[in-house]
Amino acid sequence: MKFLLTILICALAAPLFAQQPAEESPVRFRAVDIYVDSSNTPLAAYQLQFSVTNAVAKIVGIEGGTHPAFRQPPYFDPKAIQQERVIIAAFNTDKPENLPTGRTRVATIHLEIIGAERPAYELKLQTAGDSAGNKIPVTATCEENRSE
Partner 1 sequence: MDNTDQHESDHSLEAPPRLVSTLKEISRHEVFIPRHISRAILKTAQEHLATRAERRFGSIREWMLWPALAAACVFVACIAWLLTTRPHYAREDFNHDGKVDILDAFALARQIKSSAPLSTTSDINGDGVVDGRDVALIATHAVQLKRDNGS
Binding site for partner 1 (CB under 8 A): 44-47, 49, 74-77, 79-80, 83, 85-91, 93, 126-127, 129, 133, 135
Comparison of 113 and 131: residue with beta carbon closer to partner 1? 131
Smallest separation, CB 99 to partner 1 (Å): 12
Comparison of 77 and 148: residue with beta carbon closer to partner 1? 77
Smallest separation, CB 43 to partner 1 (Å): 11
Q: Where are the beta strands (DSSP E) in 82-138?
A: 85-91, 103-113, 121-129
For residues 34 and 49, give the distance between their C-alpha atoms in angstroms, rounded to a whole number: 10
Comparison of 15 and 49: residue with beta carbon closer to partner 1? 49
Smallest separation, CB 87 to partner 1 (Å): 4
Smallest separation, CB 66 to partner 1 (Å): 19
Please compute, for residue 28, the number of CA atoms within 13 A of its CA located in the half-sphere on the CB side: 10
For residues 27 and 3, give the distance between their C-alpha atoms in angstroms, rounded to a whole number: 47
Q: Considering only CA atoms, give the Rg of the chain.
A: 25
Task: Read off φ and ψ for residue 121, nearest 5 degrees.
Answer: -115, 155
Comparison of 119 and 131: residue with beta carbon closer to partner 1? 131
Strand order in the sheet with 139-145: 57-64, 103-113, 28-37, 139-145
